[in-house]
Each structure stands twice: as structure tokens, then as C-alpha cells.
Structure 1
Amino acid sequence: MALKVIPFKHQYAERFRDLNLQWIEKHFVVEPKDSNLLESCEENIIKPGGHIFFAKYDDVIVGCFAFIKLNDKAYELGKMSVDAKYQGLQIGQKLLDFAINFAKNEGWQKLVLYSSTRLNTALHIYRKFGFKEVPMDADSQYKRSDIKMERSLEQI
């Protein structure tokens, strides 16, 4: 498989939006926070210190994820999506592996993510990569989110 993980480029902003809308609309409802992040990803993710990466498979952008800055040492891993036509090729796992290694190299202390207990496959993969369930925030960002997970990046 000729898969590369590449950083955000402005020309891929619409693909970032479309990949995420694909899974959100399939399983849930698009919420105002989704629209805000997806329609203005450079303004609302990258400019405040976050990052967006893409999975490029044989010259096609087939997946993505974002790091949303919480503080200098913690980032939310969010907006992870793989095109339905390319699922089953372990692209999500390769993105997750890349994300964890990137975060470690940046010297971050932890990654946080919000998900739904309805997404069994995603939760299985998160656990496989060392994410642990932690108490949910009182004021959840999304109605669909009913589970919060963290992954420590501290070197032991």
C-alpha cells in the first residue's frame, strides 16, 4: 500500500470537511461545533496552534485527523476519518500511529479524544493504541460524545 501521511495544505480544506461530514452524517447529526471547525479549519484549528494531517493513498486523500490545541502540552485528537471506500485497509490505525509518534516528538504530555460508545470499531482501535477511558466532562462539546479517552505520552 502506497500510503503517506502529509500535513495540511489549503487545497485540501474541502476534503477535510467532506471526509468528516461523511462519517458524522452516517452515524449522527452535524452539530454547530462541527460546522465551525470543518468550514473554517485553518482559522479554528491551525491558527490557534493545531495541526491537520491527511492520509494519501496512491495520490488520493482518503483520510484525515486534527490536533486541536488544549494547551502547550495537551492536544485533542479529533476529526479523524477514513473514506468509506478505503475502510478495512488499516488506514485509521496508521494515522493513529503517526499521530502518537508526532505528539511524542513534539514533547506533548497527553492526547485527549471524545467519541461515542456507538463506534465500537473506533473504540477498539483507540484502546489498542493505549487510550484509556477517563471521566467525561460535565459540559460535553458534542451531543454524540459519551466517552472521553486519554493517552499519556510521558516517556517512562
Structure 2
Amino acid sequence: METTKNITLIPFDPKYAKDFADLNVAWLEKYFVVEPHDVELLERCEETIINKGGHIFFAKSGSTIAGTFALIKIKEGVYELGKMAVSPKFQGQRIGQQLMSFCLDFAKDQNWTKVILYSNTILENAIHIYKKYGFVEIELEKDSPYQRSNIKMELIL
């Protein structure tokens, strides 16, 4: 657990599954559309992420969930950073960067070898943050799990 600027980072709890879905749906609907793969991950996050060896974390401010992200297991030691979202009420407070920093510390503590992510270049602020944390662009496979993705990045740990 880590606390910065009244934000506490906590692991998944089923009582926050709806917050996980709601934060991500709001973000997706603002910039893109909710795709079938999103629905599967968001509506059944315990089954599709947690029970398959993945992790979900939340940024909590008081009793309010301010942000979230998931680490989705791809294979042993390789995880996809996905479903990162910050509530509009909390944007501009560097919560996304706190989530990213926590995420990478967690991945290193687990002795993972690589974290990947899918994004879209219209999200300039997000891409800037990913690069700041050391992610580099790699080739995007033709059968990417997300239609909206036009960039794939990785960080070798």
C-alpha cells in the first residue's frame, strides 16, 4: 500500500468491481467505443483478470475510488497494463502517474520480465507518460485485442 497526496492505492476487492467498470466505460465512451473485449474484461473482471493470475488496483481518495488499472496476465512474467482510468473529478492531480509508478514498482517486485500496453496515438498525454516511464513502441500485431489500438508499447523490466 502506498499513500501520496491523500490517495491510497489498494488491491482488488469485489465491492469495487462496479467502480472498475464504470471508470473505464466513462473513459472509453469519451474517446472511443466500448468493444466486446472491453465488456468481457470489465463486466467479469474477477473471472477474466483476477482468477487468471492478473491484478487490479484502485486509487482511493477518502471513501471514493479515484482511479484504477489492471495487470492482465499474458504469460509467465509478461503482463498487459490495461484498463487504466482516472475519474474526471480527480484528473489533473497526477493520479495516473501515481498509478503508473505503483504499477511498475509492483511488476518489479514480482520479478516480471515485461509489461506491455495497447493505446492510441490521439491520447498524447498518455503516450507521453508511458514514454516518460520507459515504455518504447513495438510492432502492433495484426490481430490486436483492441480495434482502437494503433500503438503497442513495452517496458522490459
Q: Compute the TM-score of the two structures, normalised by the length of structure 2.
A: 0.96
Query: Given the alignment of the two structures, is residue 126 of structure 1 paired with residue 130 of structure 2, yes or no?
Result: yes
Query: Given the alignment of the two structures, is residue 117 of structure 1 paired with residue 93 of structure 2, yes or no?
Result: no
Q: Using the aligned pairs only, state the percent identity.
A: 54
Cα separation, 2, equivalents of 1:126 and 1:58: 27
Structure 2: gaps spanning 5 or more residues:
none
Query: Given the alignment of the two structures, is residue 150 of structure 1 paired with residue 145 of structure 2, yes or no?
Result: no
SS across alignment from 1:149:
strand
Structure 1: gaps spanning 5 or more residues:
none
Cα separation, 2, equivalents of 1:84 and 1:152: 31
Kindly report which structure 2 residues correspond to 1:1-156, keeping only aligned pairs within 5 A, or say none: 1-153=5-157
1:59 deviates by 2.3
Cα separation, 1, equivalents of 2:62 and 2:125: 25
Q: Compute the TM-score of the two structures, normalised by the length of structure 1.
A: 0.97
Cα separation, 1, equivalents of 2:68 and 2:120: 18
1:18 deviates by 0.2
Cα separation, 1, equivalents of 2:15 and 2:60: 14
1:72 deviates by 1.2
Cα separation, 2, equivalents of 1:58 and 1:124: 29
- RMSD across aligned C-alpha pairs, in angstroms? 0.6
Q: How many residues align?
A: 153
Structure 1 runs of 4+ off > 2 angstroms? none
SS across alignment from 1:81:
strand
Cα separation, 2, equivalents of 1:151 and 1:59: 33
